[in-house]
Amino acid sequence: MEAIILAGGFGTRLRPLTYTRAKSLLPILNKPMIIHLIDSLPSEIDKVILAVNYRKDQIEEYFSKHDCGKEIIINDEKTPLGTGGATKYAEKHITGRFLVLNSDIICSLNLDKMINFHKKNNSAATISLWPVKNVSEFGVVDVQKDGKIISFVEKPKPEDAPSNLINAGAYCLEPLVLDYIKKGRLVSMEKEIFPRIINDTDRFYGFKFQGYWMDIGRISSFLEVNRFLLDLKKLDFCKGVNCIVNGVLKKSTIGDNVFIGSNSDIKETIVFNNVKIGYNVILSNCVIGENSEINNGCKLEYIVVGDNEKIKEKTTLENTIIWTQPKPKDYPDKQIGNAVIN
């Protein structure tokens, strides 16, 4: 059985971290985001097709050096194709029932149970469902007691919402779904394909699950998922290899080859590989990119420091991005507003 993992986006709301790396390779507890997802796949998934575009070479290099126990196929999209277009583009690798998953979602979904639910109901398509408080911000599903979905309602008023359940970004699909998707163009599965499957087959189901669901779409959620998983694993911090820590780590993750000087306090922060942090430094809710240097006496709160940056001694900053280098060519710049706090 195959799984298509969508990993082609720029991750503009996670810049400047994504100026220099693929979003799917961002580390969560020192392990790339996409590996958390691959590790959650059932044993019957023996082939993983990665739908990629931006930083394709970086993703290829990573998987050429790391064996994740499954066959990995890098499916290079020359232009972004959306959920549906990327799924159709992978058609030549599909041999039967298959999964489609978003690389930027960390959740407690049990994919084995979802596949069994799909089989039991002889479903043409099954999507994961997650409850939300504010239905007016999402497209919600009209779902029957047996899990059959009869329609989607986009951003309803609370009093008009048929449920509080949204599409949580994991799909189990039969090959017939591929016949509905036109080749070589941008296609939204959710808006263009799923309504037709509902109308034509009457075999479209939703699988509800409980636990946690986190969309790693911005810096705040990137920080949140690291904190959450530390708590889940009952850890106060996560540390890579070859680190020297003379300060205090609290609810933080540091990568490999990190130096932290004396009397420094690192709280709810993510530090990438090869970073030097001086003495008397206070970091709170920050992300520090690779090969960066935070010099003595700095106080940073809600700061994102890109790769290869250097912060001068006794700098005090709050709620900003540090990036002094040229922006990568052809990288879009669409995000407006605060990049750190929701």
Q: Quick check: 306 and 17 in contact, CB under 8 A? A: yes
- For 148-176, the DSSP string reads BEEEEEES--GGG-S-SEEEEEEEEE-GG
Using the structure block, give the residue that is written with the tokens 């420091």.
305
Element of type H or E holding 63? helix 56-65
Residue 28, SS3 per DSSP: strand
Q: Enter the tokens of residue 334.
A: 């669409």
Q: Taking the CB of residue 330, how many other CB atoms lie within 10 A of it?
A: 7
Cα–Cα distances in Å, from 303 out to 77, 239, 298?
A: 33, 20, 12
Pairing of strands 149-154, 139-143: antiparallel
Tell me if residue 155 is catalytic. Answer: yes
d(CA 114, CA 223): 28
In this structure, the number of other CB atoms found within 10 A of the CB of residue 159 comes to 6
Between vectors from CA 96 to CA 92 and to CA 99, what angle results, nearest 5°?
Answer: 90
Count of beta carbons in the 10 Å neighbourhood of residue 86: 27
**CA angle, corner 341, sides to 338 and 342, nearest 5?**
90
Contact between residue 29 and residue 229 where contact means Cβ atoms under 8 Å apart: yes
Cis peptide before 195 (omega within 30 of 0): no
26, 32, 128, 219, 224 from 106: Cα distances, Å: 12, 11, 13, 14, 11
Catalytic-labelled residue, pool 119, 120, 155, 182: 155
User: Residue 222 has what DSSP assignment?
Assistant: H
- By annotation, the residues acting in catalysis are 155
